[in-house]
Structure formats: C-alpha cells, structure tokens
Amino acid sequence: MKLAPTQKHEVSHVAEVSPAVQFLSIDGEFAPNEAAEEYLPYLQELDEADHRRFYTDMAVTRRFDEECTNLQRQGQMGLWPPSHGQEAAQVGSARAARAQDVIFPSYREHAVALVRGVDIVDIVKVMRGVSMGGWDATDPANGNFRNYCLVIGSQTLHATGYATGVRFDGAYATGNAESDIAVMAYFGDGATSQGDVSEAFVFSASGQNPQVFFLQNNHWAISVPVTTQSRTPLYLRAQGFGIPSVQIDGNDVLASYAASRKHLDDARAGGGPQLIEALTYRIGAHTTSDDPTRYQTPEQLAYWVARDPIIRFETYLRSQGADDAFFDEVHTQAEDFSADLRRRTLELGAPPLSTIFDNAYSEAHPVIDEQKAWLQAYESSLAEGA
Amino acid sequence: MVAATEELPLAKALNAGLRAALAADDRVLLMGEDIGTLGGVFRVTEGLQAEFGTNRVIDTPLAESGIVGSAIGLAMRGYRPVCEIQFDGFIYPAFDQITSQLAKFTARTAGAVPMPVVIRVPYGGHIGAVEHHQESPEAYFAHTAGLRVVSPSTPNDGYWMIQEAIASNDPVMFFEPKSRYWPKGPVDFALSAAPLHSTRVVRTGTDVTVIGHGAMVANLLQAAQVAADEGISIEVLDLRSLSPVDYGPILRSVEKTGRLVVCQEATGFASVGSEIAATVAERAFYSLESPVLRVSGFDTPYPASKIESFYLPDADRVLEAVDRALAF
Ligand SMILES: Cc1ncc(C[n+]2csc(CCOP(=O)(O)OP(=O)(O)O)c2C)c(N)n1
Ligand SMILES: [Mg+2]
C-alpha cells in the first residue's frame, strides 16, 4: 500500500481545475466571472438592506464565535468548534433558504443557526455539557434547524430521509415557492469519505429528492488535508451519482447566496438533488483542543486570511456607500450580542439528574423507572449522611 | 538504551509500546484519522510517522469502515495493522467490518486466513466531553465470537499489552481508558508483564472482592482505601482481559472473601459485568456469602457531561454495593 505523501503546501488543488462561481474578487470588487453569469438573476432579488443584513450576520457570528472560543479557554465549555472563516458560505446559503426549508447541520454551522433563529446559548449548552441536544428543532421558533450531528456524515442520510418524506407528502413541486419545501444538509470535506454520505447521494438521486447537499470544503478534516480524502474536485464526485453540482467561492457571500438560492429553488421545483461545494477555509483550530501549528504552514494560513470573507464584503459595501456609522453600529451590535451570550453562558447551571432518565424512551420503561428511583434514593441518603 | 523503569503517563507508554512493535516487525502498520502529522488527538502516536514514514503510520481518509475493512485486506496480504478509532462513539460505522468480517475470517477459512489486526479505541467518560466521546462500548465486542477484548488500566500494562495484542494472530479490540492517559505510573521496560489475557490481583483483602477494568480500577483502589479506614478489607482485581476472561484469580478470590462486586462504567444490561456475575454464580455458588452485585452506568444514553459524575459509578457507589454485600 502506498499513499501519496501529504501535500502540505498545496493551497487548493480544486480551484485551478474549475473556476468556482465568484461575484466579488478577493479585493471586494464586483466582478462576476463566467461561471457566475447564470446566477446573476438571483442577486437581483437583493437590495441594500439584504446586503447589510448579510454583513451583520457574518460580523455578529465572527464576534460570538470568538467569545465562545474564549469561554472555552476559560473552562466554561468542554469544547468549541469555531466557524471563523466560513461565515460567507454559511450566511449566504442560510439567507437563501426559505422559511419552510429544513436544514440538517453538522456541528460548525453557527451562522446558519443564527440566521434561522436558534438562540446561540442553546448551542453553548451542548458544548458546555448541560444539554444533550440544545434546542427543540420541532419548535417553529428554531427555523427548522435540526440538531447538530457529531458523528461525521450521518446527518446527510437524515436529510435524505426527510426529503423523501417531503416527496411522499407532495410538499414540493406544486409551483408555489413560498410553501414548497427543500431540504439542505451541511457537511464537510472530510465527511465525503464516509459511506453514509455516498449512501445519501445514492438514495437521494434514486428518489430524485428535493434537497441540496451543501459541502463546505474548508480544506481540513482536523489535521488531514482534503487531498487525502479526494483526488478529484469534490463537486465532481456528485456528478458520478447523477447529482448536478457546482463549485463556488465559499468566501464570497453573494456567490453562496445566489448558488444556494438557485439550487434550492431547482430542487423545490422538482429538479432532483443538487450539490454545492463551497471552497472556504477553517481559519481557526478544528476545535479548541486542536493545535493547527502542527500541520498547517504559516503561508497557507496567510493565503486564506487574505481572502477573509468579512473584510471582502466590507470593502464591497463601502464601495456601495456604506459608511463608518453603519460599521460602528454593527460592531456595537456584535459586542452586545456576545456580551449577552457570555452573561447567559455563565448563568447556565447543571441540568437536573432526572434528565439522565427522562427521555431515554418516549414511553414508560421499567428499567428506567427503577434506576431513576434508585438514584433519587441514593442521592438523598448521601445528603442525609453528609 | 532506555532505563529499566520510567515514570510515564499511559499515552506515552502506549506510544513506546507502539514504537517497539513498529521497530520489531516491519509488517506492523498503524492506520487511523489524524494519527500521523498530528500524532493522534491524544498524541498516542506522536512522532511515529516522522520516525517510520507515511507507509507505516498512515493518515487515512475519514471513514471507520474503510479503516477496518482495508486493514482486513492488509492482514490477508501479511501485514499486521493497528487501527485507531478516534473516539469510542465513532466505532459504529465500522461495526460490520469488525463483527461480520474481521471476527469471522479465521473460522470461515478454516484457519487458513488469520486476522492479526488490533483496533485501538480510546473509551470511557470523566473528561467532560460532548456526546459520542465518552462511551464504553466494549460489551458489543466481547459479545462477538472471534474477537479478543482487552483494556489496560496502568501505563505498564499499556506498554506491554499493546505489544502482546499486536503479536496475537487473532483480532484484538484494545480499549484505552482515556481519562487515564495523563496520570503517570512506573513502566518496567525490562520485565515482561503478565500474559495478555490474565486477571490481576492489585490489592489483597479478605472481606469483599471488587473487580473492574480500565478507569474503574482507580475507583476500586480508592474505595478499598476508604473501606480500610473503616476496618473493611477489600480485595481489588483488575480484569484486564474482557474476552476471554481469566476466571482463575476471580474464583480464588471469591473462595476467600465469599463476596463479589463487579464494577464497570458501561451500561449494566447485557454487559461484561453481567457475564462475570453469572459465571461466578455458576462456578463458586458454595463459596458465596451474598449475591454477586453489579455496579454500572445506568441503562440510559450517556448524559450531558455536567452530570456525568452522577451517571458514572464512583468509589461511593462501589462502597454502597460493598455495604449491601456485607449486609447479607
Ligand atoms: C464518524 C466519526 N469519525 C470521527 C470523528 C472525529 N472527527 C470529528 S470532526 C472530524 C473531521 C471532520 O472534517 P470535515 O468533515 O471536513 O468537517 P470540518 O470539521 O472541517 O468542519 C473528525 C475526524 C467523528 N466526529 N465522527
Ligand atoms: Mg473540513
């Protein structure tokens, strides 16, 4: 067995093969490339207020994500997977989804959660170890944002089954874009190697499901480069499964919006599953327990820091007339948001012991009842003895 | 030359054991996620890729079924793969390859195709981790005929048992108690340890026998210390091998104490502890002064980590069972 050596200095073996859809140059100039042309009409739906909302979503996420990293370092959370660097891919696609769409995230989609209305403290609860799932995905307030999935790739099959149900229910392709449902699954470059993800492609294509696979290629699976997962650009792999696909500049929020808008609408209209590969980069560590200096070169990091999605969009907005007052206001909003998140994080207490047992099953179970009663009696005997 | 004895944490002792195995036999390979450049998320394989190269210490694509399934093919080709599963809760994508494939090849081929494959699994709780990072899935594998299942509790056992596991021509599930990766203990590089599949008496006593494996052993020793202050003499056994179980020392201990408490982090229903309790009841019935008792994790999904200490059996829970055993 002979594996090719790890290519540490390779920045993006995929971008050279096919020019990814891009509207904003890395300097923030509006200069759509050829691949972007067919997506232009989707941008025309947007006005200045939408643009500013995209920026605000990204800036607020960047700030609270940093706050959560700090909180973890201060021992307030077990773990935090940072979204730093991936804000454009996440915000553009999340803003493109319609209210009735259903989102199956992995575990790093904090910006998507924010856009869909999830209270970020509910994500903190999972990472702090005070809740198993965090939020109630069946509560409409949470924007059909399903629970995080830590077992790599597993959510792509759940999304596929959900979309199969939507298809059986005829809840798509009626011609009403305001009620027809599309399902979107987020997953990473590493996840594409899991059998579950290939099986999701097979099932989805077989049934021609109304769904979009949103692949964030952030170039790493912890320390393993994307070149270890795939020798072909990942978006091309989908085509082998009969799934139309496109590669986009994932650090261009407009590209992420327009591509997601089109492919979600195509899927909801009965066009079958679609895949979007967003080229982006994990600027931070994999999680707070990771040390990227062991596997990432400073040059590689610098290359991607220069492509920061938020700075790029700020430059664009300024060229469109946004002034300091706007950016100051966003800054204040981001500070307030993360200060509030910090305060509420520190207030989170341990959950009651009954939660160990309460939802192990949805119907009564004799073993659970017996063990719950045992623990209660045991704890009160300790309290008496103390 | 290394000194004969050194104080090392379990993670470093395993690293030394793996290095020795890689150096001794060039058919030994390590494969897993993030084990090469990064040295593993727990640094157990730190430095080994730099030392032995990318064809001996392999950063695989992200797929557990792929890791174990391709290790089976490598074994057919005469290699001795040592697979790392990054965390306990991520072993299940490989379940078919382990239980239906790896475990059965030897029998299916009438012995012509042995499977010298080791699967290392950091397991267990106590580290405040998020879900799927604190489970104790060892019973699934102990239940599967064709697999050997072991778990070291000390750095010395880690160093020796990993080499014994790699030397075995059968598949060995090697469960590493991750909460014990960091505390140091003596490693004797000169003296070969006890055989892989042996139970060890780690503290002698006369009133009650307690037995456990992995991280539980530290709890048992703590419980024995507390009990000693109250005049109760506990004998502590380290199971070490979950399949096959070495019953000799267990039965001898029970013949002496007449009481047995079996302890584990895993859920109790259909567990390794259940098997031991049943066997001791069968074979030592006339020596028993009380029923064999089990202390286990509750039969629920592992809870949110802030309350894991109420889920995991600690020394107090062990002592509560010891008291019940003595009350008979
Ligand atoms: C089945 C499974 N195996 C291993 C892991 C450990 N693990 C957590 S994240 C990760 C890398 C994931 O990479 P990718 O899919 O690219 O997502 P990213 O973290 O880059 O967002 C690994 C190996 C896991 N969570 N699940
Ligand atoms: Mg990735």
Q: How far, in Å, from the CA of B206 to the mean position of ligand 2? A: 56
Is B53 inside a domain boundary? yes
Which domain CATH number covers B257?
3.40.50.920
- Which sign, positive or negative, has the C-alpha torsion B239, B243, B249, B250? positive
Cβ atoms of A189 and A106 within 8 Å: the answer is no
Q: Can you tell me the mean pLDDT for B121-132?
A: 96
Which residue segment(s) compose the domain that B236 sits in?
200-327
Task: Confirm whether B195 is domain-assigned.
Answer: no
Of A229, A360, A378, Cβ closest to residue B301: A360
Cα B215 to middle of ligand 1, angstroms: 26
Kindly state whether residues B21 and B146 are assigned to the same domain. Answer: yes
Q: What pLDDT shows up at residue A288?
A: 83
Q: Does residue B41 fall inside a structural domain?
A: yes
Q: In this structure, are B289 and B317 located in the same domain?
A: yes
Contact yes or no for A193 and B93 at CB 8 A: no
The CATH superfamily label for domain A5-346 reads: Thiamin diphosphate (ThDP)-binding fold, Pyr/PP domains (3.40.50.970)
What is the Cα A322 distance to its own chain's centre? 28
Q: A326-330 long-range CB contacts below 8 Å, 24 or more apart? A: A326/A52, A330/A55, A330/A56, A330/A59, A330/A60
Select from B62, B85, B87, B132 the residue to mutate for testing ligand 1; criterion: most ligand atoms less than 8 Å from CB. Answer: B62
Question: A–B: how many Cβ contacts below 8 A?
Answer: 131
**Same domain, yes or no: B22 and B169:** yes
Residue A18 confidence (pLDDT):
56
Same domain, B265 and B311: yes
Question: Tell me: the pLDDT tens digits for B53-86?
Answer: 999 999 999 999 999 999 999 999 999 999 999 9
* A57 CB-near residues (< 8 Å, 6+ apart): A87, A91, A94, A95, A111, A114, A115
d(CA A187, CA B109): 40
Same domain, B26 and B133: yes
Max CA separation in chain A (angstroms): 76
Res A19: pLDDT: 81
What is the per-residue pLDDT across B208-230, written as a single tens digit (0 to 9) for each? 999 999 999 999 999 999 999 99
Measured from the alpha carbon of residue A188, the closest ligand is 1
Please tell me the pTM assigned to this model.
0.96
What pLDDT shows up at residue B3? Answer: 67
| ipTM summary value | 0.96
DSSP conformation class of A352: P
Tell me: the pLDDT tens digits for B30-50?
999 999 999 999 999 999 999
B213 shares its domain with B320: yes
- The rounded radius of gyration (Å) of the Cα atoms in chain B is 19
Query: Do B100 and B15 fall within a single domain?
Result: yes
Output the pLDDT for position A15.
Answer: 44
Residue B158: the pLDDT is 98
User: In sequence order, what are the residues at sequence separation of 6 or more whose Cβ sits closer than 8 angstroms to the Cβ of residue B188?
Assistant: B4, B5, B156
Q: Judge contact between B29 and B73, C-beta under 8 A.
A: no
Ordered by start, the domain boundaries in chain A are: 5-346, 353-385
Q: Kind and range of the H or E element at B310?
A: helix B308-311
Choose among A223, A229, A379: nearest Cβ to B34: A223
B165 shares a domain with B114: yes
The answer to whether position B172 is within a domain reads: yes
User: Which residues does chain B have within 8 Å of residue A350's beta carbon, measured at their own beta carbons?
Assistant: 306-307
Q: Which residue from B92, B304, B317 is facing A130, i.e. has the nearest CB?
A: B304
Do B149 and B213 reside in the same domain of the chain? no
How far apart are the C-alpha atoms of A318 and B42, rounded to whole Å? 46
Of the pLDDT bands very low, low, confident and very high (cuts 50, 70, 90), residue B254 is very high
In a domain, B253, yes or no: yes
Q: Give the closest residue to B166 by CA, choosing from B326, B325, B14.
A: B14
Determine the residue of A222, A229, A234, A289 to mutate for testing ligand 1's pocket, defined as the one with the most ligand atoms within 8 A of the Cβ atom: A222
**How far does B221 lie from chain A, in Å, by closest CA?**
21
Do B93 and B208 belong together in one domain? no
Annotate A315-342 with DSSP letters as a single string.
HHHHHTT--HHHHHHHHHHHHHHHHHHH
Question: What pLDDT was estimated at residue B303?
Answer: 97
Q: Which residues of A touch B62 (CB under 8 A)?
A: 152, 190-191, 193-194, 221, 224, 229
Task: Report the pocket of ligand 1 as residue ranges, CB < 6 Å.
Answer: A 108, 150-152, 188-191, 218, 220-222, 282, 286; B 33, 62, 64, 86, 90, 93
B140, B168, B188 — which closes off a domain? Answer: B188
SS3 B96: helix
CA atoms of A317 and A14, how far apart (whole Å):
29
Q: Phi, psi (5° rounding) for residue A197? A: -70, -40
Look up the CATH number of the domain holding residue B160: 3.40.50.970
Which DSSP symbol is given to A4? P
Residue B317 lies in a domain: yes
Could you tell me the pLDDT band of residue B169, with boundaries at 50, 70 and 90?
A: very high
Sheet with A102-104: strands ordered across: A102-104, A183-188, A211-217, A274-279, A245-249
Strands (DSSP E) contained in B33-183 are 57-59, 80-84, 118-123, 148-150, 172-177
* Residues B260-292: tens digit of each pLDDT: 999 999 999 999 999 999 999 999 999 999 999
Answer yes or no: do B93 and A195 touch at CB < 8 A: yes
Q: Are residue B42 and residue B171 in the same domain, yes or no?
A: yes
Query: H or E segment at A162?
Result: helix A154-168
Q: Can you give the pLDDT of all 386 residues of chain A as single tens digits?
A: 333 333 333 444 444 445 899 999 999 999 999 999 999 999 999 999 999 999 999 999 999 999 999 999 999 999 999 999 999 999 999 999 999 999 999 999 999 999 999 999 999 999 999 999 999 999 999 999 999 999 999 999 999 999 999 999 999 999 999 999 999 999 999 999 999 999 999 999 999 999 999 999 999 999 999 999 999 999 999 999 999 999 999 999 999 999 999 999 999 999 999 999 999 999 999 988 889 999 999 999 999 999 999 999 999 999 999 999 999 999 999 999 999 999 999 999 999 999 999 999 999 999 999 999 999 999 999 888 76
Q: Which atom of ligand 1 is least distant from the CA of A216?
A: 21
Regarding whether B237 and B95 lie in a shared domain, the answer is: no
Q: DSSP labels for A201-246?
A: HHHHHHHT-SEEEEEEE-SEETTEEHHHH-SS-HHHHHHHTT--EE
Q: Which SS3 state, helix, strand or coil, does residue B203 take? A: strand
